[in-house]
Amino acid sequence: MFADLHLHTNFSDGTFTPEELADRGQKAGLGAMSLTDHDTVEGCARMAAACAGHGIRFISGTELTAEIEGNEVHLLGYFIDVENPKLLGEMKKYQTVRQSRIHEMVKKLNELNIPLKAETVFKLANCQSPGRPHVGRALVQEGYCANMDEAFDRFLKKHRPAFVPKMRVSALDAIELVHNAGGLAVMAHPGLNRTDELIPSMVDQGLDGIECYHTKHSPSTSEHYLKIAARYNLLVTGGSDCHGYSKGKPLIGTVKLAGDHLEKLIAAHEARKNPRR
């Protein structure tokens, strides 16, 4: 049994609907899936229903952008209660900031004589949690860039002229938000952020796990994080970070988390729900 625990739909910057994603998961032979859209859980109910229809175990999730000591880290929350008022309230704030960030990015593009309209981006995104990939897709759609890589390389990446930083909560606040919603907090793709030295303080702040398996992790990178997970007694997770067709080919099912890691994750969540006295 294999799981893919890092997936995006069109409720954030993926291109698949929850139903399409669940279908593809079934075709890829997955036994369990999580939906980890950026700053939203809106797709979780539909994804849960679609997974149930295929006999696939569904784990609710989200991916938050957090900050620790000036570094950006992405935090995955698993098993969160998708109706938790505090969680929904905070996410609403992040979404509002994401929406004004689109206006800021478009303004910067306009100053560079790229007459893209914010309205075009919002129409294309058609979600509460828009991000840079939507601006990138709009730039391609309107013929200002040949492809997404060009859009990011010329305009949207850090240090490029239309880059606008994202609102980042502190890692401690993000971990507490996830815990408060009954979830487990996991550091996403540590190999991408290269922030190994921050792991001990995040462990002190309550980090539960680390995403050892990810599309952008080489086998040796995964090995490296498996050792770190063992050293700090962290849960091990993994997923493809599939965004549908947003970044080339759909990646769903290309990173497979083994059943024993999934069982430990489920057991940790059960233990959290029913603490022994």
Positions touching ligand AMP (CB under 6 A) are 13, 38, 131-133, 136, 148-149, 152, 166, 246-247
Q: How far apart are CA 230 and CA 222, in angstroms?
A: 12
Query: Among 44-52, 183-191, 205-213, 247-255, which window interacts with Fe ion (CB under 5 A)?
Result: 183-191
Strand partners, 2: 258
User: Is residue 67 at the binding interface for Fe ion, with CB under 5 A as the rule?
Assistant: no
Query: Minimal distance in Å, beta carbon 6 to Zn ion?
Result: 6
- DSSP for 6-46? -B--TTTT-SS-HHHHHHHHHHTT-SEEE---BT--TTHHH
Query: Minimal distance in Å, beta carbon 156 to ligand AMP?
Result: 7
Query: Minimal distance in Å, beta carbon 275 to ligand AMP?
Result: 35
Nearer to Zn ion, 58 or 144 (CB): 58
Footprint on residues 9-28 left by Fe ion (CB under 5 A)? 13
Nearer to ligand AMP, 74 or 269 (CB): 74
Q: How far apart are CA 204 and CA 164, in angstroms?
A: 31
User: Is residue 37 at the binding interface for Zn ion, with CB under 5 A as the rule?
Assistant: no
User: Is residue 241 at the binding interface for Zn ion, with CB under 5 A as the rule?
Assistant: yes
- Per partner kind, with CB cut-offs from 5 to 8 A, the member of Zn ion, ligand AMP, Fe ion, none near residue 82 is none
How many Cβ atoms sit within 10 Å of the Cβ of residue 235? 22
Footprint on residues 45-74 left by Zn ion (CB under 5 A)? 63
DSSP β-ladder status, 257-258 and 71-78: unpaired
CA 10 to chain centre: 12
DSSP state of 119: H
Note whether 162 and 112 are within 8 A (CB): yes
Query: Minimal distance in Å, beta carbon 115 to Fe ion?
Result: 26
Number of H helices, E strands in the chain: 11, 10
Nearer to Zn ion, 14 or 109 (CB): 14
Q: How many residues bind Zn ion (CB under 5 A)?
A: 2
Q: How far apart are CA 97 and CA 172, in angstroms?
A: 20
Nearer to Fe ion, 13 or 39 (CB): 13
DSSP state of 274: S
Query: Minimal distance in Å, beta carbon 262 to Fe ion?
Result: 20
Under the rule (CB under 5 A), what is the footprint of Zn ion? Answer: 63, 241
